[in-house]
Structure 1
Amino acid sequence: MAATVRRTSCNLCEAICGVLVTVEDGRVTDVRGDEADPLSRGHICPKAVALKDLQEDPDRLTTPVRRTRDGWEPIGWDEAYTLVADRLTAIQREHGRNAVAVYLGNPNVHSLGAMTHMPTALRLLRTRNRFSATSVDQLPHMLASYLLYGHQLMVPVADIDRTSYLLMLGANPLASNGSMMTAPGFGRRLKEIRRRGGRVVVIDPRRTETAAVADEHHFVRPGTDAAFLLALIHQVIADGNARPAAYVDGLAAVTEAVAEWTPERAAAATGIPAEAIRRIAAEFAGADRAACYGRVGVSTQQFGVVCQWAVQVLNIITGNLDRPGGTMIPRPAVDTLRGIGRGHVGVWKSRVRGLPEFGGELPVSELAEEILTPGDGQIRALVTVAGNPVLSTPNGRKLDEGLAGLDFLVAVDPYINETTRHADVILPPTPPLERDHYDLTFHQLAVRNTARWNEAVLPRPAEARHDWEIFRDLGLELLRRMPRSRQKVIAGVRLRLSPRRVVDLGLRIGPYRLSLRKLRKSPGGIDLGPLQPALPGALRTPGKRIDLAQQSVLDDLARLSSASVASGNDGELLLIGRRHLRSNNSWMHNSARLVKGKPRHQLLMNPADLAGRSLTDGELVEVTSAAGALTVEVAESNDMMPGVVSLPHGFGHGLPGVRLGVAGQVAGASVNDVTDDAETDAVGGTAVLNGVPVRVTSARGRA
């Protein structure tokens, strides 16, 4: 057969880059960037090329399997649906509806079928024990947006294509291409900022790939970013540079709350000189177009909500919210905010620790505890979808223990990983190249308004099922066990709608009045233009006003004031995470092209900290925290702030039965073996993954 070139997108990360895929004799022979894509403009990263590897991965499941005493055995789809529905229904009938829990992994928001059909199917379980990667990732972003703007997904993004001053904290977009800010080809966009005469400033405990090419980088002690941000707000107000819009309230209360956070006090906490804090505050307030952006590093710490609130407050009081070149609300072709609830906080709390829900989900840091603690409401069954919480959530060993004792576990996942190895049934969906796609999530976070429909590149094998078909059929099987009601009829209708139909309806009622037919005529995507001012009209708050003085956040400032700043006393170091361009959380390690090259799993440590512990570069060390210990190689790095060490997230494929990781290519340990599930942000319950106190000692003789 002749080679054909198909346009699609890489939906493995938030960048949603347009790609051109060459297919010959039913196999992918080439993947390259699509220059015509109005958002990514030809950019791709190595993960896009690995789409071919995912398609051809021999470890990927293609039909349902059931775990038996003798190992895994294939079963038919109908038999699998019946088994799952029978077991979940029986457990809820005997122990109550909250005895079944749900965990959703990050890849769900990258899949059209999961977004359109998963919520309806899983809502039929009527359980309050719902967990997801949100509370180990972006919950502070969403909570700050809910409090200030009235909707959990109304997240202003940096208008980096027009900004003249970009201040970034805990973000490394050269590795992520933006996160909670869809900005493919960030390196090129950064160069364009500097060509315009703009300035890029990075605050991070590690000299990241982004920090290395920024105009300015400052080390900051992990967990103290809130002090730096509050000092900026303090200084902007003190200098008379606060100029919030007329629809903003609460400046007086904020002024009082940050009065004690002088640059000198913040300097003592953060390690950033007071004069630098004053200068950055003046530069930011004086720039004609400035944007402050904080990501994982400031979210996944003990004051994550304070940090993300402060990022928004800084943008608001300097007049940069809703201004071109500042931070703006995207206007996607399908209004995602209309289809997803605005959110709520604390409507119920977790059984064991009493942590509040947000948006219908409980903090995942308590999942293991809810499984292992006996009593009324104990979790006895779990549904996981595209997630690997044993590697990606705090205290993974404790969760691993809990999963082993469940009455039933079903996973919608293409792999047998550290979590799904405990499953009774695994339902594998088709890979990205075999399914249609429209991005419902990341157009809502994109730095430019675009729209693109992607047809499947390859045909789906007859025995395979798309994820939306899995949720449709499993949902219909659950409905058969429920009494007739109006809600049952509505759920049945929703489950039977195809993703194509859902997208078409969304486009037709969206702000541009498009249709799927129009998008299919432009397979490279449609450019809908730069971000446009939308406030106060787009706000979902009472009276369409922004109240800066959110009491739950202001109350937490007292905890920040009294918190002792860990600084490596008594030989302790502070552990932070790390992101790699060639990895994707706890998966993508089956691709030889991604895992080849220099090792990327080591613990990075400043040379002075190595010497002070009589350690050498490449040595095997033991990392110990209050939660546990792990063994890993250490690597000397001048990019690390003294007193700080870094270990990447998602490694540690070493448990029995796991089929992930190219043999001999992926080593390392799971950083979540030393993160403490008892440590969470007091306001939102986010896991504390950064600023973890650890001790590092030689593992000689203990390997």
Structure 2
Amino acid sequence: MTKAITCTLCEAMCGLLITTSGDRVTGIRGDADDPLSAGHLCPKALALADLRDDPDRLRAPVRRTADGWQEITWDEAYDLVAGALARIRRRHGADAVATYLGNPVTHSLGGMTHAPPFVNLLGSRNRFTAGSVDQLPHQVVARLLYGHQWLLPVPDIDRTAYFLIFGANPAVSNGSLMTAPGMARRIRALHERGGTAVLFDPRRTETARLGVDHHFIRPGTDAALILGLLRVILTEGAATPAAYVDGLDEVRHAVEPFTPERVEAATGVGPGTVRRVALEFAAAPAAACYGRMGVSTQRYGTLCQWGIQLLNIVTGNLDRPGGTLLTRPAVDAIGQLDPGRRGRWHSRVRGLPEFGGELPLAALAEEIRTPGPGQVRALLTVAGNPVQSAPGGPALDQALAGLEFMAAVDFYVNETTRHAHVILPPTEPLERDHYDLVFRMLAVRDTARYSAAAFPKPPGARHDWEIFRDLARRYRRLVRTGRWRDALMLRLRPDRIVDLALRTGPYRLSLARLRRHPHGIDLGPLRPGLPRRLRTPRKRVRAAPPPLLEAVRQAAADLLTPAEPGTLLLIGRRHLRDNNSWMHNSARLTKGRPRHHLLMHPADLAARGLADGAPVRVRSTTGEVTVEVAASDDLMPGTVSLPHGYGHDLPGVRLARARHLPGAPVNALTDPAALDQLSGTAVLNGVPVTVEPSP
């Protein structure tokens, strides 16, 4: 039997055709009839079968005991978790119970519809997500410029003539906050129609090898370059902004220090390149500027994203076909989401402000370790693996061991969930219905697709939304709390929620109609919608918000200071065959040539007397790791690179294959105190390190 489904392992939302026999997967291929992915698939999709068959995946609730993990019934698990959370809340207050929602939550329909209302039910201000080690600078800038954190303009890659990229590798990520499956094909099509793609990155990535005009840039200095490009456009009369844009005089004054010559000293990018790229971008008939993880997770990530938006705004490419446009998804949740308020409360220890209802993940360990009123004593994690992804992972690992109680909704025992007292495993992706609520809001084309589960739910299993619903019922018997809206959401099935949203959405679709079109419905290319869709007063783009003007004033001297000779700066990297800190238990994805090495330029190896392939010790101000080094001309001299999420080597972890996967946890080298101050995002790129022979 062959069924049409959507892959849920990354943001690309690729349509798949899966062939089954009984309860086994016998084949997976791309769905050529999917209007967005058009038959594209990557190796991760093929690993869905590995995930289904993995003997390490939990299929029933387990409780941690002195003798190891013991299976228990769902009723026992619910009672243990609800009882412990309620008891700690009564004794110490709601803030004593913290929550963490990992990246995989956004890839699950039930996780998206039911995890947030359950978190609301707990009533704690100690809410953490993967967003603060990922994309919050995008959202902060969208809130300040456009009035809502989820008004995120998307590059119209299929119609642009000039694609300018900073710190992103879309050939591997398939976009990321720009859902675009088959990016290699899309970039080749851009070249075939006579267009240009330009990339600034400290590493010559898979994207750079697609005939892109690639330029090295010193890690952590992208904001200086972006603001320098902006200065050229504004001072040389190349700006053509829309009439509804305010504040460009203030922007022009703010970027005055960023001359091409001073930018070169800081970034390593020559003045001629700065001027040429700026004027080419401004002169193109349609151009789109885009930046992602490499620029978001650095010290001035929010300034980077502000500058990227300004490049699109001042050249008239915001809301232009071939430029950057807002999507018009069939389920438009903008009105139901927090617009991105900031500073309504602060973390107890460091006084860090919340944004959009969450605190920076970098604060979690200290909130657990530091005694006093409001100390975190219990934690609920939902998917994710913050011990492997949060800055200062070893310190968080130690902090979790001291919790009074921890529960996890996850189907693996990993570096994080090994500390849980109870783990409640949801069904695996092929056993769930799916509709992408978030990534349809970020796609390069408007489409809608509902996927029925490829396999029925096994007897005794629970979907993630059922876990939250049943936990909420027990918790509310013990603690009479929560808003009626959250209680209602927890009672509704996800398919009912989607159907209501489709019927009231801009296209007046229904779940029944989507079921009749299992390959999806094409709703057309992105269309202009500004200024009508702005959420700002008087429907104006606020190009110069005071917090950003003040931030660039304070940062200018630091951004334009050349690096000390001999400094090594660490960056991360992503691979097509894994997904951050997960999917390392798939034989299909972990086979082949090792890819865990510290990459280093041959000149930097020679200067330190290091041999290609030898073990080295990498040190930062907060930690050290030992890993093999590999020589690579793909790195800018002075740059080293480690992949994110490797180094699974802890006792009690039930990931047999991942436990033996070589590598080192790069987050052992990152500092929880180092944050982008405007967004609270962790600094994961541009980290100063030393590299020496391993003793």
TM-score range, shorter chain: over 0.9
1:244 aligns with 2:241: yes
2:75 maps to a residue whose letter is D
Counterpart of 1:406? 403
* Aligned CA distance change for structure 1 residues 544 and 625 (closer, same or farther; 3 Å): same
Secondary structure of 1:84's match?
A: helix
| Range 257-266 or range 47-56, more displaced | 257-266
Secondary structure of 1:60's match?
A: coil
1:343 to 314, 337, 340: 340
Counterpart of 1:37? 34
Contact kept, 8 Å, 2:649 with 2:659, in 1: the verdict is no
Q: How does 1:40-51 map to 2 (within 5 A)?
A: 40-51=37-48
1:182 aligns with 2:183: no
CA distance in 2, matches of 1:188, 1:570: 40
| Range 266-275 or range 557-566, more displaced | 557-566
Secondary structure of 2:116's match?
A: helix
Counterpart of 1:451? 448
CA distance in 2, matches of 1:511, 1:488: 28
1:232-278 alpha-carbon deviations (Å, 9 max, x no partner): 11000111111111111000100110111111111111000001000
Counterpart of 2:507? 512
2:602 maps to a residue whose letter is P
Q: How does 1:222-241 map to 2 (within 5 A)?
A: 222-241=219-238
- How big is the shift at 1:231? 0.6
Counterpart of 2:161? 164
1:292 to 289, 294, 300: 289
Contact kept, 8 Å, 2:254 with 2:553, in 1: the verdict is no
CA distance in 2, matches of 1:580, 1:15: 15
Counterpart of 1:324? 321
Contact kept, 8 Å, 2:58 with 2:425, in 1: the verdict is yes
CA distance in 1, matches of 2:421, 2:394: 20
2:496 to 486, 501, 526: 501
* Aligned CA distance change for structure 1 residues 88 and 566 (closer, same or farther; 3 Å): farther
2:50 to 40, 49, 53: 53
Q: How does 1:206-221 map to 2 (within 5 A)?
A: 206-221=203-218
- How big is the shift at 1:151? 1.0
* Aligned CA distance change for structure 1 residues 106 and 204 (closer, same or farther; 3 Å): same
Secondary structure of 1:291's match?
A: strand
1:99 aligns with 2:96: yes
1:572 aligns with 2:564: no
Q: TM-score, normalised by structure 2?
A: 0.99
Q: What 5-or-longer segments of structure 2 have no aligned partner?
A: none
Q: What 5-or-longer segments of structure 1 have no aligned partner?
A: none
CA distance in 2, matches of 1:237, 1:423: 54
Counterpart of 2:611? 616
2:539 maps to a residue whose letter is K
Contact kept, 8 Å, 2:653 with 2:659, in 1: the verdict is no
CA distance in 2, matches of 1:631, 1:603: 9
CA distance in 1, matches of 2:660, 2:489: 44
- How big is the shift at 1:543? 1.2
2:619 maps to a residue whose letter is T
| Range 320-329 or range 368-377, more displaced | 368-377
1:523 to 513, 518, 532: 518
Q: How does 1:208-607 map to 2 (within 5 A)?
A: 208-483=205-480, 488-563=483-558, 569=564, 571-607=566-602
CA distance in 2, matches of 1:252, 1:427: 55
2:167 maps to a residue whose letter is G
- How big is the shift at 1:468? 0.6
1:596-629 alpha-carbon deviations (Å, 9 max, x no partner): 1111110000000000011111000000000110
1:186 maps to a residue whose letter is M
- How big is the shift at 1:664? 7.8
1:497 maps to a residue whose letter is L
CA distance in 2, matches of 1:564, 1:150: 28
Structure 1 residue ranges (4+ consecutive) displaced by more than 4 angstroms after TM superposition: 564-568
Secondary structure of 2:657's match?
A: coil
1:491 maps to a residue whose letter is D
1:117 maps to a residue whose letter is H
1:559-609 alpha-carbon deviations (Å, 9 max, x no partner): 322216686636431000000000101110111110111111100000000
Counterpart of 1:636? 631
CA distance in 2, matches of 1:644, 1:344: 36
CA distance in 2, matches of 1:468, 1:549: 42
Counterpart of 2:685? 690
1:119 maps to a residue whose letter is P
| Range 414-423 or range 542-551, more displaced | 542-551
Counterpart of 1:130? 127
- How big is the shift at 1:440? 0.4
Secondary structure of 1:256's match?
A: helix
CA distance in 1, matches of 2:451, 2:127: 31
Q: TM-score, normalised by structure 1?
A: 0.98
CA distance in 1, matches of 2:251, 2:105: 37
CA distance in 2, matches of 1:650, 1:488: 37
Counterpart of 2:650? 655
CA distance in 2, matches of 1:368, 1:572: 29
Counterpart of 1:74? 71
2:507 maps to a residue whose letter is Y
* Aligned CA distance change for structure 1 residues 646 and 457 (closer, same or farther; 3 Å): same
CA distance in 2, matches of 1:285, 1:223: 25
Secondary structure of 1:212's match?
A: coil
Secondary structure of 2:446's match?
A: strand
Contact kept, 8 Å, 1:587 with 1:660, in 2: the verdict is no
- How big is the shift at 1:376? 1.2
1:114 maps to a residue whose letter is G
- How big is the shift at 1:387? 1.4
Secondary structure of 1:275's match?
A: helix
1:169 maps to a residue whose letter is F
CA distance in 2, matches of 1:141, 1:494: 28
2:688 maps to a residue whose letter is P
CA distance in 1, matches of 2:211, 2:561: 27
CA distance in 2, matches of 1:471, 1:695: 45
- How big is the shift at 1:488? 5.0
CA distance in 1, matches of 2:93, 2:628: 46
Counterpart of 1:670? 665
- How big is the shift at 1:660? 2.2
Secondary structure of 2:406's match?
A: strand
Question: May I ask how many residue pairs the two structures share in their alignment?
Answer: 695
- How big is the shift at 1:480? 1.4
- How big is the shift at 1:374? 1.2
Contact kept, 8 Å, 2:616 with 2:626, in 1: the verdict is yes
1:149 maps to a residue whose letter is Y
CA distance in 2, matches of 1:675, 1:492: 39
CA distance in 1, matches of 2:556, 2:493: 52
1:8-65 alpha-carbon deviations (Å, 9 max, x no partner): 0101100000000000122101000000000000000000000000000100001100
